[in-house]
């Protein structure tokens, strides 16, 4: 599982830090060694609406983890 957290780190102290969004990308176990399928959940802020999506047929051999994060963002409706 991949967990992504987008944070705003304040220059005025950690008490002003803020979570801008979170995302979880979970392998569903139905893929192969070279091709994966993932369930995605994402939320804007700490209490925003939960968005869900799915990434299918992701080539593990020719892509990076960051490419998976990008596809997951698109799968949950972020453009």
| pLDDT for res 73 | 97
**24 touches 30 (CB < 8 A):** no
Residuewise pLDDT in 10s, the chain (79 residues): 999 999 999 999 999 999 999 999 999 999 899 999 999 999 998 888 999 999 999 999 999 999 999 999 999 998 8
Q: Is the pTM of this model over 0.85?
A: yes
| pLDDT for res 45 | 87
Number of domains composing the chain? 1
Short-list 26, 19, 18, CA closest to 54: 26
Counting beta carbons within 10 angstroms of the beta carbon of residue 24, is it exposed (0 to 12), middle (13 to 18) or buried (19 or more)?
middle
| pLDDT for res 12 | 95
59: three-class secondary structure by DSSP: strand
């Amino acid at each position: 599982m991949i967990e992504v957290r987008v944070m705003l780190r304040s220059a005025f102290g950690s008490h002003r830090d803020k979570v801008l969004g979170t995302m979880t990308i979970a392998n569903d176990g139905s893929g192969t060694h070279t091709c994966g399928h993932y369930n995605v959940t994402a939320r804007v802020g700490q209490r925003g609406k939960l968005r869900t999506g799915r990434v299918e047929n992701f080539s593990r051999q020719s892509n990076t983890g960051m490419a998976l994060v990008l596809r997951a963002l698109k799968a949950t409706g972020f453009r």
